[in-house]
Amino acid sequence: MRRALLATAISAALTLAACSPSPSTESVNQTQQAGDMQNNSANIFMSPSPLFDQAPQFDKIAMADYLPAFTEGMAQQQTEITRIANNPEPATFENTLVAMELSSVLLDRVSHVFFALSGVISNEEFQNIEAELAPKLSAHSDNIYLNPSLFARVETIYADKASLNAEDQRLVDYYHTKFLRAGAKLNDAEKTQMRAINEQISSLQTDFSQNLLASFKNDVIEVTDKNLLAGLSDAEITGLAEAAKNAGKQGYMITLVNTTRQPILASLSNRDMRQQIWQASANRAMDNNGPVLLKLVKLRAEKANLLAYANWASYATADQMAKEPKAIFAILDELAPQALAKAKIEAAEIEEQMHADGVSGSVQAWDWAYYAEKVREAKYELDDNLVKPYFELNSVLENGLFFAMEKFYGIHFKERKDLPVYHEDVRLFEVFNQDNSSIGLFYFDPYAREGKGGGAWMDAFVSQSFLLNEKPVVFNVLNIVKPTKGQATLLSFDEATTLFHEFGHAAHGLFSQVKYPSLAGTSTARDFVEFPSQFNEDWDIEPTVIANYALNNKTGEAIPAALLERVLDSVKFGQGYDTVEYLAAALLDMEWHMIGADANISDVAGFEQQALQKHGLDYAPIPPRYKSAYFSHTFAGGYSAGYYAYLWTEVFAADAFAHIQNEGGMTRENGDDFRQKILSIGNSKDLMQSYVEFRGQQPSTQALLKRRGLIH
């Protein structure tokens, strides 16, 4: 899940100056206030959406609504925070922490929509607003969490929390920790320094994100000679021609995806063309984002030092399940040699295929995907042109994912075409329990397009909360290449798996049964939040599920048993590459955030190489999944010193899925148990305790190693 940035944005707001107008400006201000009130009365965000489950009114939102709504929402929150902090009554859980939970209703409403849409239909207007908001949001977050009177009330409640129920105690701990980590115990001079650092960090993260969005538009590969595209299907070539035409370019246009690895490299037979694409991918955004990330890591280290942490990695992991960097390095470094050994076995097979094709020398990064596909096809007699017709998008979604979710959780889906969506490609479903009670809404946005961030993610337009009487309204985003009009959308098996993965996040949000917004749904430690999504992946290969959705898109015939067996056997193929690629990125993220505030780094590429050498992963054929200049997980916020979480949580996912299989597999009893003990609780309980209650013990790494094919 990519959008951890949203939580930061929502918790922030503007400060209102508590000063009276001078006589010379009073009439001007009164006129301005009257105009603001008139404008606000027409602003779509000023009132809760009247639509079902408060679904956003996408057909009525205007760009001009956002800034006034943010300004008013932040002003309302600041007024309420001031009232709470200055309340003459003794501090209680209700008059302080519950009041804080209720203080940002308008701000939350506009933030959820704005930051969601800025990732899926972004344009220059969105980017300008985001750049303007970033420092203001950061400043107000500081005004809340560096407020000494407010913190004193929180401390009082924290000292007497034993009388509260478990979920209330969890909220007390949440806020107390948040204040401490924001710097509530710093002196005035240190708080001033903290405010300045936070403002700079916020602006730099926005710069990094916007530079990367610009890169998706600018760092494209233009091809004029159709022969260079040999290996692609006619439909793929037509799609590249249409992309070029839509962008006002001649010939064919290849747009990069966010990872270093580019899926198109698996098909292109022209080696020079592959090298050009790979180098464009690996070197993109460096000129703009290199200087940004160097400033950013230094500022993060300075912030960590102010809070008495040795480095940002220590600060970032202190409130996670891992607790400290050494626990993370212990797991990553244990897996690295096993993964690299597996990858080198794969490399030997690939080089054998290369040499058979008359290509001498060792495998290069731009060769790997192409020849790995040839090895895979030979080893498992698989051809994507034979496999893809059985993985048509609508069948994967409805006959696969929805079918699996109904069998496991007893839920069902009904498409809603009476509510507006934010783009014509988006589909909207209402989700129901078995007894037909409504759970919430689910938006599905599958296709890549200009203005949409790379990758796949889940987020919420409305988060579940019993306190606010709100049901969840969530969405999934993918980046599948849209076929030409009238053509079916045929997925790779990896893309089908991603679809299942992202709905694991959606289920986490939909099944939330939590009172307080701050603890609901996916608002957990980031090294837990990927657990439900990775757990959900494995249902796409459950025999009854795959038999139900792997249907030929033209004939409706089920995938032949022999072909299906080869597809399933091939799932673990290339896991050496995949694991090394991931570990390299995770370790690179950690090393950037282990540096001290006094470090003097000027060479981004040099630092990358040294970091990988340190951990034995400087292996040229397999670069990190993300190089630094486009590593948005870590430098656009959210997952800084946290990219390790995908592997950390895969330990939980593999262990939990193995447990489910041992207990009878896809049964309603198992689904209800997982839903109740894992998915419904959000962050309202200790997360490891919740896992142990579900599993009966802490997770083991054995299932993960088997899942990735690193052991038998």
Give the β-pairing of 438-447 and 427-432.
Answer: antiparallel
Distance CA(259)–CA(643), nearest Å, equals 14
Q: Which two tokens stand for residue 401?
A: 């994912």
- 675 bridge partner residues: none
CB 282 within 8 A of CB 288: no
Tokens representing residue 280 in the block: 């464009």
653 touches 285 (CB < 8 A)? no
693 annotated active-site: no
Report how far Cα 195 is from the mean position of its chain's Cα atoms: 27
Q: Which of these, 28, 52, 16, 13, lies nearest to 441 by C-alpha position?
A: 52
Asked if residues 220 and 255 have their Cβ atoms less than 8 Å apart, the reply is yes
Torsion angle (degrees, nearest 10) of CA 436, 438, 441, 446: -20
Pinpoint the alpha helices (H) of 558-712.
561-569, 575-592, 604-614, 632-635, 645-662, 668-674, 687-695, 702-707
**For residues 396 and 499, is the Cβ–Cβ distance under 8 A?**
yes
Question: CA 541, 545, 546, 550 torsion: positive or negative?
Answer: negative
Q: How far is CA 469 from the centre of its chain?
A: 26
Interatomic CA distance for residues 184 and 201, integer angstroms: 18
330 touches 615 (CB < 8 A): no
Query: Of residues 351, 495, 502, 581, which has the active-site annotation?
Result: 502
For residues 567 and 569, what is the distance between their CA atoms, to the nearest angstrom? 5
In the numeric block, which tokens belong to residue 247?
């962008």
Q: Which residue has the tokens 């049901």?
A: 471
Which DSSP helix (H) or strand (E) runs through 367?
helix 365-380
Collapsing DSSP states into helix, strand and coil, what is residue 3? Answer: coil
* DSSP state letter for 470: B
Nearest CA-CA partner of 186 in 241, 242, 148, 221:
148
Contact (Cβ atoms closer than 8 angstroms) between residue 14 and residue 71 = yes
As a three-state string, the secondary structure of 550-601 is CECCCCCCECCHHHHHHHHHHHHCCHHHHHHHHHHHHHHHHHHCCCCCCCCC
Q: Which two tokens stand for residue 488?
A: 């079916």
Provide the angle, in degrees to the nearest 10, between the axes of the packed helices 23-41 and 63-85: 120
Q: Is the dihedral of CA 134, 137, 140, 142 positive or negative?
A: negative
What does 208-269 look like in DSSP terms, one character per residue? HHHHHHHHHHHS-EEE--GGGGBTB-HHHHHHHHHHHHHTT-SSEEE---SSSS-GGGGT--
Residues in the chain: 712
CA angle 220, 224, 228 (to 5 degrees): 90
Cβ contact 584:617 at 8 Å: yes
Active site residues: 502
